[in-house]
Amino acid sequence: MIQINLLSGKENLAKDFDTKVFAPKETGGGGDKSDQLIQMGAAVVFIIGLVILGIWMFMAYNGVSKAKRLLAQKRAEKKKYESLIKEQDALQKELDLLKKKTDLINNLKSRQSIPVKILEELFNRCPDSVWFESISKKGNLLDLKGQAKNSESANNYYQFLSESPIVKSLQYPILKKVEKSKIPGIVYFEFKITLKDKMDKE
């Protein structure tokens, strides 16, 4: 009697089916290499971007630093020029005062109405910050009018005159602030001077 094992054939067929359907296909590693290349390319692009950004930031920082140095230099130059302008203005004011004083001296000398010795004494004791407007003499009385840079200068001149050997007595000066003056702080003064008797005869 011949027996046929049908079950055995079915089992073999099932094994072949499972092996063909569920067995993974070998790709030879091509997909992994492609992913690695993409990742490497992205990394290179990222690094290049960082380098470019670093260079740009460095250049921007240098530009800002240069601008700050230039600004500081310009401010220093401005202060220097402002200082020079102030010095020039102060010098011009002193020259104006000196010119007024010199003009008056020359004018008084040309008149010769007051003895030269008295004029010399008045001028020699006069500070640079004081200048005369007029001098008149009647007997042994001398009337001196002028202007001073400030009240302190006028008071100093009063003190200098009171120590003069030709002055017998000196009335405290009348001080008035000069309005609309080009030089701020200018005061007007008037001295009433009594000369010693011997000076009146000279």
- 99-136 pLDDT, tens digit each: 766 766 666 555 555 677 888 888 889 888 888 888 88
Q: Answer whether residue 183 shows pLDDT above 60.
A: yes
Q: Which of 191, 72, 175 is nearest to 143 (CA)?
A: 191
* pLDDT tens digits along 18-75: 555 444 555 555 567 787 888 888 888 888 888 888 888 888 888 888 888 888 888 8
Q: Does domain 126-196 have CATH number 3.40.50?
A: no
The overall average pLDDT reported for the chain is 76
How is the chain split into domains, by residue range? 42-114, 126-196
| Higher local confidence (pLDDT), 94 or 200 | 94
Distance CA 114, CA 192 (A): 15
Which residues have C-beta within 8 Å of that of residue 202, sequence separation ≥ 6? 115, 117, 118
Q: What is the structure's pLDDT at 19? A: 52
**Would you place residue 160 in the very low, low, confident or very high pLDDT band (cuts 50, 70, 90)?**
very high
CA atoms within 13 A on the CB side of 21: 6
| Residue indicated by tokens 């020029």 | 81
Q: Which range among 3-7, 40-44, 75-79, 169-173 shows the weakest confidence by mean pLDDT?
A: 3-7
Q: What is the structure's pLDDT at 50? A: 85
